[in-house]
Amino acid sequence: MSQLLLVRHGQTDANAAGLLLGRTDPPLNDAGRAQAAAAAARVASFAPERVLTSPLLRTVETAEIVAARCGLAVEVEDRLIEVDYGEYDGLPFAELPADLVRRWRTEADFAPPGGESLASVGVRMAALGAEILGDLGTASVVAVSHVSPIKAAVCWALGLPDLASWRMRLDNASVTRLAPGPEGPVLLSFNER
pLDDT at 155: 98
- Give me the active site residues, please: 9, 82
pLDDT at 138: 87
Helix, strand, or coil here: 13? helix
Instruction: Provide the sign of the torsion angle of the four alpha carbons 42, 9, 172, 34, taken in this order.
Output: positive
pLDDT at 1: 82
Give 165's pLDDT tier (boundaries 50, 70, 90). very high
* Amino acid letter, 114: G
Indicate the average pLDDT of the chain.
96
In the chain, how many domains are there?
Answer: 1
Instruction: Provide the sign of the torsion angle of the four alpha carbons 176, 124, 9, 59, taken in this order.
Output: positive
Q: Residue 70 is part of a domain; what is its CATH number?
A: 3.40.50.1240
Count of all residues that appear for the chain in the document: 193
* Amino acid letter, 60: V
53-84 confidence digits (pLDDT tens): 999 999 999 999 999 999 999 999 999 999 99
Query: Which range marks the domain in which residue 19 is found?
Result: 4-192
Smallest Cα–Cα separation from 66: which of 52, 82, 83, 78? 52
Whether pTM > 0.95 for this model: the answer is yes
Query: What is the number of alpha carbons within 13 Å of residue 56 lying toward its C-beta?
Result: 24
85-132 confidence digits (pLDDT tens): 999 999 998 899 999 899 999 999 999 999 999 999 999 999 999 999
Radius of gyration of the chain from its Cα atoms, rounded to whole angstroms: 16
In 10 A of CB 129, how many CB atoms?
Answer: 23
- Compute the distance between CA of residue 126 and CA of residue 76 in angstroms, rounded to an integer: 18
